[in-house]
Every structure is written in C-alpha cells, then in structure tokens.
Amino acid sequence: MDMTTDTKLEVTDGFHLVIDALKLNGIDMIFSLPGIPITDLTRMAQAAGMRVICFRHEQNAGNAAAIAGFLTQKPGICLTVSAPGFLNGLTALANATTNCFPMILISGSSEREIVDLQQGDYEEMDQLAIAKPLCKAAFRVLHAEDIGVGIARAIRAAVSGRPGGVYLDLPAKLFAQTLDADTGKNSLIKVVDPAPRQIPAPEAVQRAVDLLKSAKRPLIVLGKGAAYAQADSDIRSLIERSGIPYLPMSMAKGLLPDTHEQSAAAARSYVLPEADVVVLIGARLNWLLSHGKGKTWGGKESKAWGGQKFIQIDISPQEPDSNVRIDAPLIGDIGSCVSALLAAVNTNWPKPPSEWLSAIAERKNKNIGKMGETLAKNPTPMNFHSALNVVRDIIKTNPDAILVNEGANALDFTRSIVDMYKPRKRLDVGTWGIMGIGMGYCVAAALVTGEQVIAVEGDSAFGFSGMEVETICRYDLPVCIVIFNNNGVYKGTDANPTGKSDPAPTAFIKGARYDKLIEAFGGVGVHAATPAELRNAMEEAIRSRKPTLINAVIDESAGTESGRITSLNPSAKKK
C-alpha cells in the first residue's frame, strides 16, 4: 500500500494552524498587504474561505482592522510583512490602543538568531520590543504547537477588560514547521467567554445611586466606550427613565438620536460648567473633555476644578481620578453597570428639577435656531455650512448609512451639524485626532456592516489614505467619499511670505480635481461646486451603491486654523 498521500493528509503546518486558530474563534476576515513571509498565508486564508482584504498601505489595513473591532467587538486582524510593513501597521495599532478598539496586528518577522545578533537580515527588526510600549499586549510564537495559545492570548488581551491593540509576532520559520494533524488540531483553543462581563460591586452601585439622587443639575456624558459596549437599549432607558439631559461625545452620537429632546449637545458650553453631578459612561476626562477642569467646567482658571461631582462608569479600574476626583467610580462593563443603575432608576425616580431642564432647553433652542439660519444661507462659493446642510439631509433620509469623518474644520463642522440617528454610525479621528483613518475605516465599515458608507473628508485628511480608492473600487464597495476641497490644510489662502515660488506650508495645488483620481480605477467621479450638485451626486451614489468620489469645492477662505482647537497651537513670542 502506498502511504505517501495518507501521511501527507495527516500533517499540518504553521500556515494552516494560524488560519484554523482564527477561524475556530469566529474570525473570518483579515486586512492585509502581502509580501515575504506572509504571501502564502494570505492565499491559504482566502482558499480556506476567509475574506482577505488587501490594501495599498499597511496603515490603512490596520485602521480597517481597528474599526472592524470597534463595530463588531471581535478583534480586527491586520496582517503585515516584517520591519517596514510592521511599522506601517504599528501606527494603526497604537491608535487602536489609544481609542480602546480591539485589534491584533500579526506581522511576519525575520530569522530570530540573525535579528538578535543584528547580522543584517532581510527586513531585520526586533519587532516585538518595538511594539510592546505601543500596545496593550505583545506576544511571539516560535513553535507551531504554540500557535493556538498565541492566538488565544491575543484574542483575550484584545477584547477583555479595556479593549486595545495586541501585537503577535510570527517569525518566517514558524509557517513551514510541520506537526501531525491531530496534535495540531488539539493544540488549538476556542476561547470561551473572551470578554467576560464585569459586574459592579453592589456598594459601588449604591454610592452612585445616592450621589445621583442628590443631584439638582445632573448630566450624563456618553463616550465611545458606551457605543462600543452595545448596551444601546439599556443606555436609552437609563436616560429616558431618569429624565437626565445627556451629551454625546463624537463617536457616541446616535446612541440616542441627536434630535432627542434630552440631548444637551447644542447647549454644551452651558451644561458642563453648570452641572452638579456628572455621570460619565465610557468617556474619559481627557483633553476632549478639557480634563474635567478649567473654565469649561466652571473652574476659576485653567487648572481649577469646577464644583461637579462625578460618577464614572468604566471597565478600567485605573481610569477614575486620572484628571479630577471621581466621587463614585462604578467599575465594570457598561452593560452590567447601566443595568444595575436601571434597577434603582425605576418609575419612582424623581425627574431633574424643571429649572435645570428649561434653562438647557432655552439655550439649546436659541443655538439650534441660529444654526438653522446659517444653514439656510447659500453663499457662492459653497462653504462648510451650505455643503453640510446637504450631508445632514442625506443622513437624515439614510440613517443606516455610516459616516466616516476626518479633517479639522471638515471634522468639527460635520460633528456639530450632521445629526446621527443610530448607534455606531459615526466613525472619526477619535482620541488622537489622527488624520489618515478615512479610507481604512470606509473599507471595513462597508464590509462588516454591508451598509452605505459616506466619508466627509478634508482635502488634506483624504491625502493620508487616498490611494485606497483603488481598494474601494477593487472590492466594489458602496462608499461615497465627499472631499471638502479648500485647497489646503485648514484653508487654502496662505502665501509664502518670502515671495519665492515654494507654496506656503499649508497650501495645496489650487482647484485640484480629486474626482479624476477615482475614475482611474473605474469609480464614479463628480465635481460639485454647488449644494444642488453635491446633493444630486450623493443621492446618485446611494442609489447606485457605486464607489464614488465627489470633489466638493469649498470657499478656500472658510474655516480656521486647526478648526475648533486653534488654541492648542503654541504661539511664538517672537513675531
């Protein structure tokens, strides 16, 4: 009897074990860019039925993985080659960690003994050491029989507790290592309960309830942790049953529709300093909330605390007191914490005093009225407001569409003008205010949700990931990219003070036709100079679901330096 074929069947290898371990854990999509030593891994993964989505630059693959993690609560997988590919992916891994998105960066690496003796291997780099300080956890697998454990540890590290980025180092030699198939199969781990619920302690719940009961001017702040947690209906019940006004952070918009009567978003600068008890749900008191102190919170000067008391719901026990005193930390997963609060906030719960609610309503209505007037104007050339008035209508009629947003003015104006109606529909620059997430987020959002994606991009912001329009066309994704083209970073009006021919640092080519870019790959390009042209183009993009890029020409003098965060620019003493 010829045993050769049978023997072959009974053998597995590193390539297959990686794929089998991922599939066993319900991971069926990889964001990648092939090359030595992972090209065959991408082929075999595709052959094994996984979706292998390949990009033009690893940072975009990494950003796609990160946002897939945010949207699905499963770690997004980014697979890269060694040294430079790894480094390109690392920015996305660090950004995912900063934003508490679960992802795993898997990179092939070069010969350990050559790397460690620094003998100059092809793409030599001690990747594990470099990744470690930039992510939540980092592991290396040297032997095929440890692949199952390596993937299991990576998954647990990414999604349990505070989610984050994990690095998994797979040296080239690992892939070809063989193992008898049964041993291989038995070495794999299907992770049981990867993100265990964390139930808050009853006394912590009671402390929070007591504090909340004492409030005269309560406020709830929803952060992207609340969006991630997918406890949507309990969060909504907590807000509606308690009657407490709430503020959504950028990516928490839509957890309740932005048009909700309890939204205090249009009265933000009033409610923050005036509130007496603030409930933070999955939101950190970082720079985006002015560190919980200073004038924004009613403090007398920039470092002074306001008079608020805080309840902070967070999964990380180390988060409370990071910026100001937290009187009632409520540590646990948001689903469990909010449902514990709901048990106390029942029908007998006293509604907040009507003076508080009516004072908010008054500010809110005034600001919404003012904004309405601005949006109704139709200046030539088009400005951020008249263009966003269109986007606002489009999202209103397509509330399931996902809005990706980056830029400075293009970001700030979109966030405040475009209402969101459903949870996890707004994806943006997050905690770092990072440019370059745009096209990676678009690709992943379209793939994991199947929904129409609309990206509102500053012309500078778009440039960081613009080549991925080819990827969007290649996978034929329903992505409509709207570039707010004002000829530069922030604005297009800067000039070189020396009078020499180099353009100013913030200036781009004037009148660039970004719409031509997508046409190179068979997508639809549209040049829109008026709100009517923009509206037609967006409606057609949604009707056709074709990859579309709209070059929306915006007044180059509109907007401000750095958008809303002008004040963070250090100003020179010497002029």
DSSP at 14:
H
To ligand TZD, the closest distance from the beta carbon of 432 in angstroms equals 7
Q: Which amino acid is at 6?
A: D
Residue 486 contact, options ligand TZD, ligand ADP, none, Cβ 5-8 Å cut-off depending on partner type: ligand TZD
- State the pairing for strand pair 277-281/76-80: unpaired
Closer of 105 and 256 to ligand TZD (Cβ): 105
To ligand ADP, the closest distance from the beta carbon of 321 in angstroms equals 13
Six-digit token string for 436: 């370059």
C-beta nearest to ligand ADP: residue = 225
Six-digit token string for 109: 């690496």
What order do you get walking across the sheet with 453-458 strand by strand? Answer: 426-428, 402-406, 453-458, 479-485, 548-553, 524-528
Residue 265 contact, options ligand TZD, ligand ADP, none, Cβ 5-8 Å cut-off depending on partner type: none
To ligand TZD, the closest distance from the beta carbon of 93 in angstroms equals 14
d(CA 438, CA 512) in angstroms, rounded, equals 19
Residue 460 contact, options ligand TZD, ligand ADP, none, Cβ 5-8 Å cut-off depending on partner type: ligand TZD
Closer of 253 and 309 to ligand ADP (Cβ): 253
To ligand ADP, the closest distance from the beta carbon of 247 in angstroms equals 10
Closer of 229 and 279 to ligand ADP (Cβ): 229
To ligand TZD, the closest distance from the beta carbon of 178 in angstroms equals 43
The distance of Cα 449 from the centroid of its chain, to the nearest Å, equals: 15
Quote helix, strand, coil % in the chain, to nearest 5: 45, 15, 40
Residue 251 contact, options ligand TZD, ligand ADP, none, Cβ 5-8 Å cut-off depending on partner type: ligand ADP
Closer of 102 and 352 to ligand ADP (Cβ): 102
To ligand TZD, the closest distance from the beta carbon of 292 in angstroms equals 23
Closer of 223 and 292 to ligand ADP (Cβ): 223
E runs forming strands in 477-547: 479-485, 524-528
End-to-end CA, the chain: 89
Residue 284 contact, options ligand TZD, ligand ADP, none, Cβ 5-8 Å cut-off depending on partner type: ligand ADP
To ligand TZD, the closest distance from the beta carbon of 534 in angstroms equals 15
To ligand ADP, the closest distance from the beta carbon of 388 in angstroms equals 21
Other CB atoms within 10 A of residue 261 CB: 11
To ligand ADP, the closest distance from the beta carbon of 493 in angstroms equals 32
To ligand TZD, the closest distance from the beta carbon of 47 in angstroms equals 36
d(CA 274, CA 281) in angstroms, rounded, equals 19
Burial (CB count <10 Å: 0-12, 13-18, 19+), residue 521: middle
Other CB atoms within 10 A of residue 1 CB: 3
Closer of 177 and 562 to ligand TZD (Cβ): 562
d(CA 327, CA 347) in angstroms, rounded, equals 25
C-beta nearest to ligand TZD: residue = 458
Q: Give the residue among 261, 535, 275 at the shortest CA–CA distance from 395.
A: 535
Q: Give the residue among 546, 392, 543 at the shortest CA–CA distance from 475.
A: 546
Residue 433 contact, options ligand ADP, ligand TZD, none, Cβ 5-8 Å cut-off depending on partner type: ligand TZD
Q: What is the CA radius of gyration of the chain?
A: 25
Cis amide linkage into residue 353, ω under 30° from 0 = no
480 DSSP β-pair partners? 454, 548
DSSP at 318:
T
Residue 315 contact, options ligand ADP, ligand TZD, none, Cβ 5-8 Å cut-off depending on partner type: ligand ADP
Closer of 336 and 485 to ligand TZD (Cβ): 485
Residue 434 contact, options ligand ADP, ligand TZD, none, Cβ 5-8 Å cut-off depending on partner type: ligand TZD
CA dihedral 293, 298, 301, 305 (to 10 degrees): -40
Closer of 173 and 564 to ligand TZD (Cβ): 564
Q: Give the residue among 176, 547, 554, 550 at the shortest CA–CA distance from 386.
A: 554
Q: What is the DSSP string of 236-272?
A: HHHHHHHT--EEE-GGGTTSS-TT-TTB-GGGHHHHH
Sites of contact with ligand ADP (CB under 6 A)? 99-100, 162-163, 223-225, 228-229, 249, 251-252, 282-284, 286, 288, 314-316, 319, 333-334, 431
To ligand ADP, the closest distance from the beta carbon of 227 in angstroms equals 8
To ligand ADP, the closest distance from the beta carbon of 337 in angstroms equals 7
Residue 31 contact, options ligand ADP, ligand TZD, none, Cβ 5-8 Å cut-off depending on partner type: none
Residue 100 contact, options ligand TZD, ligand ADP, none, Cβ 5-8 Å cut-off depending on partner type: ligand ADP
Contacts of 290 (CB under 8 A, 6+ apart): 272, 296, 297
Closer of 22 and 442 to ligand TZD (Cβ): 442
Residue 563 contact, options ligand TZD, ligand ADP, none, Cβ 5-8 Å cut-off depending on partner type: ligand TZD
Sites of contact with ligand TZD (CB under 6 A)? 407-410, 433-436, 458-461, 484, 486, 489-490, 559, 563
Closer of 104 and 315 to ligand ADP (Cβ): 315
Given a contact cutoff of 8 angstroms between Cβ atoms, the answer to whether 117 and 156 are in contact is no
Residue 29 contact, options ligand ADP, ligand TZD, none, Cβ 5-8 Å cut-off depending on partner type: none
Contacts of 358 (CB under 8 A, 6+ apart): none
